[in-house]
Structure 1
Amino acid sequence: METPRLLIADDDKKTRDFVAAFLKYKGYDVLQAFDGQDALEKLEVEDVHLVITDLMMPRVNGLEFVKKLKAMRPGTVVIAYSAFGNYEMTSNLLKAGVFFYLEKPFNLDELETHVKRGLEHQSLQSQTYRSKPALKSRSLIPNIIGESPRMLSLFELIEKVAESDSTVLIQGESGTGKELVARAVHDLGTRKNRNFVPVNCAAIPDELLESELFGHVKGSFTGAIATRIGRFEMADKGTLFLDEIGDMKPNLQVKLLRVLQNRELEPVGATRSKKVDVRIIAATNQNLEKLVASKQFREDLFYRISVIPIFIPPLRERREDIPLLVNTFLDRFNRNKKSKVKGIDADAMEILGNYDWPGNVRELENLVERLVILKGFGTLGVKDLPEKYTGVSLSAPSEALALPDAGICLNTVVEEFENNLILQALKKTGGNKKEAALLLNLKRTTLIEKLKKRKLDVISTSLA
């Protein structure tokens, strides 16, 4: 295996020699540069895997050096350090592409930890760009369904990411299967025999989320009648999955950032911190870069959690997987519901293939489950599909309330009628639940309960 080659740029010879000696002792091949300009000249003729640089240097300062380096070699991992850091500087460095920033004086063991992570990240990125999708990935990740080129690429990336311990950010629309991807990363990794602990940051009230994540000590607040460990400690040596991280409030973002940086947490009301060894996988259906631009999400936390980004394509961008998904769901629900639906005809399948699926795979799964229950046996056709998918009403207005000879399931018809009105209200209000509730003369909490119970929250999110 090739020995990783590092380059250290620092005009302080004493510091440079000290860091270089430590890293050579740890088995790395180390080059030295006395400032940014010297480093750029060396990089023109030397191949390196990772660069470590001071910021305050003559001729070309650290930030300018990073920008020129990234323009020259975009894939090179950079770790920067300085004794004069501030939030603005850190933000500019992360924007320029720095992998990690350390404040002087720093611990050499901590530096080596980040060097290892940086090299791991660099290796993963280069492998991802070089590799081609392999069919073996499909068999290793059975719970995620797809055989399209984009999904095979996703399977390949999941395998490679699982081998590392780096922080992962999974992005994708609601209903695309972000938790399934997170579980696959965990199950294929070295922590597979440890806990996988999911937390939905949007589902837990803000005032309780801190205690839920970090735990609390007895008496730390009203109602804290006993000491309780948080999800971080539950996931120690395992994986913590932070779903909907874009909904996390700024004060908690700061505390999460501290845990990611220092690998230790402080329970609510505690006076001492605790060490934790947790792999973080985060997910969101929001555009975090837009939230960063609007100051709703911390920029430094964004770069910290998105070391390895994974994007799950929406169903409308992999339509060739729809027949496979439909047949898989038919088989599953036939078994679970003891039904005998033989399949779906070509015309109905074509309609499903042309639909845009705002709720993605989850919406398709819910539809197939409903069709299997209502049909019971035989072959699904166009007449079995709800109007929203066909765009055609199968009953004339005068016959809308007519009772078929075969009878109906009253509860199902009433529920579908309610669902249709709820979705219309959400569409009229652009997904605003409070305004939709007013249109329907419902309490907001009642509307939210109906959305969750009937699994309409996926579709309602897409209307926002």
Structure 2
Amino acid sequence: MVQYRDGNYFSEFEKNIFDILPGLAYYCKFIPSKTDNPYDYSLILEYASKGCMELVGISAAEFIKQNKNVLEHLMTEDDVKRTHNYSYDQVREHKSYEMKYRIKFASGLLKWVWDIGAGDYDKQGNIIGYKGVIMDISEEKFNELELQEENKQLKASIEQANGLGRIIGRSKAMQNVYELIMKASENDMNVIILGETGCGKDLVAKAIHEYSGKKGDYVPVNCGAIPEQLMESEFFGHTKGSFSGAYANKQGFIAAADNGTLFLDEIGEIPLNLQVKLLRTLENRTYTPLGSNTPKNSNFRLITATHRDLNQMVQEKNMRSDFFYRINVLEIHLPPLRERENDLFLLVENYFKRKNAKITLPLKVRLAMQNYHWPGNVRELHNFLDKYLFLGEDALKSLHFSEEDSFLMNLTANTLSFKEATEEFERQIIMKSLSQNQGNTAKCAECLDMNLRTLQRKIKQFGIK
């Protein structure tokens, strides 16, 4: 027998349905405020389904006897006012409400619940009651909060660490990248990673996937390495006999990334005809393999990357504007190695550590590396270090210094004494920092972690203007 005080709020059929729902269906009578404050209203529980026992451990009959809204008394204090005022604002405007809040029991047990409901009104449109369903979402919510807490602790530790996961660097430019990685990992928005070749865009994409807690696979795709005539088949898959050479059914990249992450590197290489088909897939997460008439679903998260100027590609009609805006929701600009102050030798140290190589670079090599522009970025750095392990200082010949850079040429010729090299090294660093800070000595001193007076003395000593 369904328990309710008075009034036929639901039909017997509805009550029977409510009693088998995985949650608590309810009806509360609305008691308007007697003061000038409309939020002073109260609710009295008039009906509760059998799910009441499973949700709160109390029978519907006992719940109703309390002659009040028992759930508000079970809520944590900071949730009460928020939900009380929010639900009234929604009902007053004849809108439904949706709330997530915590209920706490005398035993100390805490549950997260999802409350979905709407108002009940008389013929004049006045509120007379609230009706809805409450479901237990504790497992889902606690998993979400656990991941958020892990990410929160990770954010707090990033500034003291030498990097994030397999990404090495503690420069300010990389700190900004880490912050965006963590922001991206907290939701499923489409992300585009912009940066020069060799910066490590794939590592950023993999980090977003790992910290987002995705259960599916990380599927990296180099769009520039796939022949155009095979792209559609590679992305959407195909059925046996759909074209010459299709000897069996094949799963595509989109299917492989279900519940995971699809990373499309060099997104600018995708032709216009495929952009149209990918756009449809991005809008509804459905696709149809070649040779099939049956649409399939894939709940993937999309991350793209490129070194090209996509805005220019849109202007030149080499990329569809609707496709560009769909993939470009959150931009992460990955800085080139030459703009990552003090990260160079962290990367060197990490490289030698992975190679189990106990090597100390001589001053000549360190100075040359410090003043080289690394157009190939981290990839070029690793290539140089590979050569250094075999060739030693002769590996410097593989770095293409500009001829007018007399300092670097002197280093190569090994004509500087230790004192001269050290002073020239300081001068170069100060000049570079002054240039980056538009000549502001105070900012320069802060970036170099140097006393301002010391900096001014060295500027005078080295004749820097």
TM-score by length of 2: 0.53
Contact 2:265 2:304 in 1 (8 A): yes
State the one-letter code of the partner of 2:386: E
Superposition pairs of residues 280-429 of structure 1, within 5 angstroms? 280-333=302-355, 335=356, 340=358, 342-375=359-392, 381=393, 384-386=395-397, 388-389=399-400, 392=409
Question: What displacement does 1:26 show?
Answer: 4.0
Question: What displacement does 1:355 show?
Answer: 1.1
Alpha carbons of 1:237 and 1:178: their partners in 2 closer, same or farther (altered >3 Å)? Answer: same
Question: What displacement does 1:138 show?
Answer: 4.3
**Partner residue in 2 for 1:33:** none
SS at match of 1:344: coil
Please give the per-residue CA displacement for 1:273-330, whole angstroms capped at 9, x wherever unaligned.
1111000111111111110111101111111111111110011111421111122212
Q: 1:149 aligns with which of 166, 172, 178?
A: 172
Aligned residues: 272
State the one-letter code of the partner of 1:266: T
Q: Which runs of 5+ in 2 are unaligned?
A: 1-78, 101-154, 404-408, 414-465
State the one-letter code of the partner of 1:159: M
Alpha carbons of 1:235 and 1:21: their partners in 2 closer, same or farther (altered >3 Å)? Answer: farther
Question: What displacement does 1:351 show?
Answer: 1.5
Contact 1:137 1:155 in 2 (8 A): no
Contact 1:246 1:288 in 2 (8 A): yes
Q: Distance in 1 between matches of 2:249 and 2:276?
A: 23
SS at match of 1:280: strand
Q: Distance in 2 between matches of 1:307 and 1:326?
A: 34
SS at match of 2:342: helix
SS at match of 1:197: strand
**Partner residue in 2 for 1:443:** none
Identity %: 43
Contact 1:319 1:353 in 2 (8 A): no
Contact 1:133 1:156 in 2 (8 A): no
Contact 2:163 2:170 in 1 (8 A): no
Q: 2:185 aligns with which of 130, 148, 162?
A: 162
Alpha carbons of 1:353 and 1:21: their partners in 2 closer, same or farther (altered >3 Å)? Answer: farther
State the one-letter code of the partner of 2:203: L
SS at match of 2:193: strand
State the one-letter code of the partner of 2:396: L
SS at match of 1:297: coil
Alpha carbons of 1:228 and 1:242: their partners in 2 closer, same or farther (altered >3 Å)? Answer: same
Contact 2:190 2:329 in 1 (8 A): yes
Alpha carbons of 1:137 and 1:297: their partners in 2 closer, same or farther (altered >3 Å)? Answer: farther
After superposition, the CA RMSD in angstroms is 3.3
SS at match of 2:304: strand
Q: Distance in 1 between matches of 2:398 and 2:325?
A: 44
Q: Which has more radius of gyration?
A: 2
Q: Which runs of 5+ in 1 are unaligned?
A: 7-16, 29-131, 376-380, 397-464
Contact 1:178 1:283 in 2 (8 A): yes
Question: What displacement does 1:373 show?
Answer: 2.3
Contact 1:171 1:285 in 2 (8 A): yes
Alpha carbons of 1:181 and 1:394: their partners in 2 closer, same or farther (altered >3 Å)? Answer: closer
Dislocated runs of 4+, deviation >4 Å: 136-140, 389-396
Q: Distance in 1 between matches of 2:94 and 2:236?
A: 39
Question: What displacement does 1:25 show?
Answer: 3.8
Superposition pairs of residues 38-49 of structure 1, within 5 angstroms? none
1:254 aligns with 2:276: yes
Q: 1:244 aligns with which of 251, 259, 266?
A: 266
Greater CA deviation, 158-167 or 342-351?
342-351
